[in-house]
Amino acid sequence: MRSEVDLIKDYFKAFNAYNIEAVVKCFTDDATITSGDGSRRQGTAGVEQRSSGTSPPS
């Protein structure tokens, strides 16, 4: 099991690299993500759906 610090580091490394697969691996199957507008996504499929709208800057 990863430490919380390692998990956070892995998440930001994956997020900054736009590596959606690695971002999803940082979450559990029962994760809930709440966006700034209050919308919610459930589970790793929801994490993937939420993260897939993120693309590298042009």
* Whether the predicted pLDDT of 54 surpasses 80: no
pTM for this one?
Answer: 0.75
For the chain, the domains span: 4-51
Mean pLDDT of 42-49: 88
Q: What pLDDT score was predicted for residue 52?
A: 73
Q: What is the DSSP annotation of 3-43?
A: -HHHHHHHHHHHHHTT-HHHHHTTS-TT-EEE-TTS-EEEH
7-34: pLDDT as tens digits: 999 999 999 999 999 999 999 999 998 9
Tokens of residue 57, six digits: 């800057």
CATH architecture for the domain at 4-51:
Roll (3.10)
Confidence class for position 51, pLDDT limits 50, 70, 90: confident
- In angstroms, how far is CA 25 from the centroid of its own chain? 8
Cβ atoms of 17 and 40 within 8 Å: the answer is: no
CA dihedral 16, 32, 49, 11 (to 10 degrees): 20
